[in-house]
Structure 1
Amino acid sequence: MSARDTVATARPTTPSPRIVEIEGLRGIALTLVVLFHLFGNGRVSGGVDVFLVISAFLLARSILRKAQREEGARLAQHFAGVAGRLVPPAAVVLITVGAATLALLPPLTHEQNLREIIASALYFENWELIASQLSYGAAGPETSPLQHFWSLSVQGQFFLVWPFVTVVLVWVARRVGRSPLSVVVITTTILTALSAAFAIQLTAVDQPVAYFNTFSRFWELGLGALLGLTLHRIPLTSHTRAAVAWLGLALVISSGFLVDGGQLFPGPWTLWPVIGTLLVLLGSGSTSAHGPAPLLNTAFLRFFARISYPLYLWHWPLLIFYLQVRDYSRLGWAGALFVFALSVLLAWLTHRLIEVPIAALRKRVSTPKLLAVPVALTLLIVVPALIALAVDDAKRQAQLQAASQPSPDHIGAQALYQKPPAEFSSSVDIVPDASVAFDDLPSIYAQKCIQNYRSEPGMDKVLVCGSDVTSPSKTVIMTGGSHAQHWYPAMAAIAEQENWALIVIDKDGCRLSQTDPSDGISSCESWTESALQKIISLAPDAVFTVATETASPEAEHEFIADAQVEAWRALTDRGIPMVAVRDTPRFSFRVPECLQENDPGSTEGCGIDRADTYSDVSPFFERSDIPDLVSHIDLSDSFCTDTRCEAIVGNVLVYRDDDHMTATYARTLAPAIRDALVAAMPSLF
Structure 2
Amino acid sequence: MMTLAPARPASPTVPGPTRTASVPPSAGMGTRTKGFYRHDLDGLRGIAIALVAVFHVWFGRVSGGVDVFLVLSGFFFGGRLLRGALTPGVALRPVPEVTRLIRRLLPALVVVLAVSAVLTILIQPETRWEAFADQSLASLGYYQNWELARTASDYLRAGETVSPLQHIWSMSVQGQFYIAFLVLIMLSAWLFRRLLGKRARAGFVVLLGALTIASFVYAIIAHNADQATAYYNSFARAWELLLGALVGAVVPHVRWPMWLRTLLAVVALAAILSCGALIDGVHEFPGPWALVPVGATLLFILSAANRYADPHTGGRIPAPNRLLASKPFVALGAMAYSLYLWHWPLLIFYLAHTGNSRVTFVEGAVILLVSGLLAWLTTRYVEEPLRSRGTVAATAPVSKVALRKRLRRPTIVLGSTVALLGVALTATSFTWREHVTVLRANGKELSVLSLRGYPGALALVDNARVPELPMRPTVLEAKDDIPVSTTEGCISDFDNVDIINCTYGDTAATRTIALAGGSHAEHWITALDLLGRAHHFKVVTYLKMGCPLTTEEKPLVMGDNRPYPKCREWNERVMPEIIADKPDFVFTTSTRPWNIKPGDVMPSSYLGIWQEFSDNNIPVLAMRDTPWMVRDGDPFFPADCLADGGDAISCGIERSEVLSDHNPTLDYVKRFPMLKPLDMSDAVCRADHCRAVEGNVLLYHDAHHLSATYMRTMTDELGRQIGAATGWWSD
Q: Aligned pair 1:397/2:441, yes or no?
A: yes
The aligned residue for residue 308 of structure 1 is 336
Deviations 1:404-428 (A, max 9, x none): 533421110111122xx22231x21
Q: Contact 1:79–1:371 at 8 Å: present in 2 too?
A: no
Alpha carbons of structure 1 residues 373 and 231: separation in structure 2 relative to 1, 3 Å: farther
Q: Aligned pair 1:679/2:720, yes or no?
A: no
> Which deviates further from its counterpart, 93-102 or 278-287?
278-287
The aligned residue for residue 327 of structure 1 is 355
The aligned residue for residue 400 of structure 2 is none
Shift of the alpha carbon at 1:314? 0.5
SS in 2 for 1:411: coil
CA distance in 2, matches of 1:441, 1:433: 13
Alpha carbons of structure 1 residues 239 and 612: separation in structure 2 relative to 1, 3 Å: closer
Matches within 5 A, 1:238-317: 238-284=258-304, 286=307, 287=313, 288=316, 290-317=318-345
Given the alignment, which residue of 183, 191, 196 partners 2:203?
183
CA distance in 2, matches of 1:614, 1:25: 51
Q: Contact 2:159–2:703 at 8 Å: present in 1 too?
A: no
SS in 2 for 1:292: helix
The aligned residue for residue 642 of structure 1 is 687
The aligned residue for residue 248 of structure 2 is 228
Alpha carbons of structure 1 residues 361 and 277: separation in structure 2 relative to 1, 3 Å: same
The aligned residue for residue 180 of structure 2 is 161
Matches within 5 A, 1:533-552: 533-549=576-592, 551-552=593-594
CA distance in 2, matches of 1:448, 1:570: 28
The aligned residue for residue 70 of structure 2 is 52
Shift of the alpha carbon at 1:536? 2.4
Code of the aligned partner of 1:411: P
Shift of the alpha carbon at 1:481? 1.1
Q: Aligned pair 1:562/2:581, yes or no?
A: no
TM-score under structure 2 length normalisation: 0.85
CA distance in 2, matches of 1:582, 1:378: 50
Deviations 1:350-386 (A, max 9, x none): 01111111122388899xx999998776544333312
Q: Aligned pair 1:348/2:376, yes or no?
A: yes
The aligned residue for residue 96 of structure 1 is 115
Cα RMSD (Å) of the superposition? 2.7
Alpha carbons of structure 1 residues 113 and 13: separation in structure 2 relative to 1, 3 Å: closer
Q: Contact 1:192–1:222 at 8 Å: present in 2 too?
A: yes
Given the alignment, which residue of 236, 253, 261 partners 1:216?
236
Deviations 1:593-612 (A, max 9, x none): 2323335xx32323333333
Shift of the alpha carbon at 1:69? 5.9
Alpha carbons of structure 1 residues 98 and 660: separation in structure 2 relative to 1, 3 Å: same
Shift of the alpha carbon at 1:226? 1.5
SS in 2 for 1:544: strand
CA distance in 1, matches of 2:299, 2:417: 37
CA distance in 1, matches of 2:164, 2:447: 31
Alpha carbons of structure 1 residues 320 and 85: separation in structure 2 relative to 1, 3 Å: same
Q: Contact 1:84–1:371 at 8 Å: present in 2 too?
A: no
Shift of the alpha carbon at 1:155? 0.6
Q: Aligned pair 1:434/2:462, yes or no?
A: no
Deviations 1:457-486 (A, max 9, x none): xx3332223459653242222112111111
* Structure 2: runs of 5 or more not aligned: 1-30, 308-312, 392-403
Q: Aligned pair 1:575/2:617, yes or no?
A: yes
Given the alignment, which residue of 517, 526, 532 partners 1:489?
526
Q: Contact 2:524–2:711 at 8 Å: present in 1 too?
A: yes
The aligned residue for residue 56 of structure 2 is 37
SS in 2 for 1:545: strand
Alpha carbons of structure 1 residues 607 and 35: separation in structure 2 relative to 1, 3 Å: closer
CA distance in 2, matches of 1:374, 1:503: 55
CA distance in 1, matches of 2:427, 2:536: 48
Q: Contact 2:527–2:712 at 8 Å: present in 1 too?
A: yes
> Which deviates further from its counterpart, 172-181 or 297-306?
172-181
Q: Aligned pair 1:448/2:489, yes or no?
A: yes
Q: Aligned pair 1:515/2:552, yes or no?
A: yes
Query: How high is the sequence identity, in percent, across the aligned residues?
Result: 33
The aligned residue for residue 13 of structure 2 is none
CA distance in 1, matches of 2:604, 2:448: 38
Deviations 1:30-88 (A, max 9, x none): 2221122123x112211111100010011222222444565742101101001110011
CA distance in 1, matches of 2:527, 2:438: 26
CA distance in 2, matches of 1:85, 1:656: 41
Given the alignment, which residue of 593, 599, 613 partners 2:658?
613
SS in 2 for 1:505: strand
Deviations 1:582-622 (A, max 9, x none): 222223142222323335xx323233333333233322221
Q: Contact 1:32–1:45 at 8 Å: present in 2 too?
A: yes
Given the alignment, which residue of 134, 157, 162 partners 1:115?
134
Code of the aligned partner of 1:388: W
The aligned residue for residue 645 of structure 2 is 598
> Which deviates further from its counterpart, 372-381 or 179-188?
372-381
Code of the aligned partner of 1:210: A
Q: Contact 2:505–2:529 at 8 Å: present in 1 too?
A: no
> Which deviates further from its counterpart, 434-443 or 481-490?
434-443
